[in-house]
Amino acid sequence: MKRAVFLDRDGVINEVLTDRVKFVNKPKDFYFLPKVPEAIKTLNQHFDYVFVVTNQGGIGLGFMKETDLQKIHAYMIKELKKKGAVIHDVVYCPHKPKSGCACRKPNSKLIEDLGRKYNVDLAQSYMVGDTDTDIIAGKRAGTKGVFLGEQDPLADAVFSDLLSATQWIIKDAI
């Protein structure tokens, strides 16, 4: 079986709720956080897959169309590829918050579906996020949880940014 790192998008890969951008509704609103391409490129060298798993309730709320989200993800993948970093798949929940769907984190369906599709051993994999919902989704799926931020009692590890987390993930996976 394969090993993977599942990454939340907003707040892990790109800026959100900053002075420069509030929400990412178009590719022009997408700004990588510092050292993210380097972090993903490093993860690519040690894991079979790197995936993005993201809640995108802005679609269900009418702030953007699904085609706009797909353009954002195509832009993200293209820009990462220019730096030698690969995202193998991007999955998202388009539903409104509190819609009761099975795919919105903290539910684990998106992670579990990717695990089945790519033959991933979830117990040997990691979910990286910046909210409790990310960590809970990963735990429910059977992954280790890595939190980016100040603290999270549910997480296996806490770091300030993806590059710092990457070093721990690689050491922990050995």
Residues assigned a catalytic role: 8, 10
Q: How many CB atoms lie under 10 A from the CB of residue 59?
A: 20
Please give the Cα distance from 148 to 11 (Å, whole number).
8
| Whole-angstrom distance, CA of residue 56 vs CA of residue 100 | 14
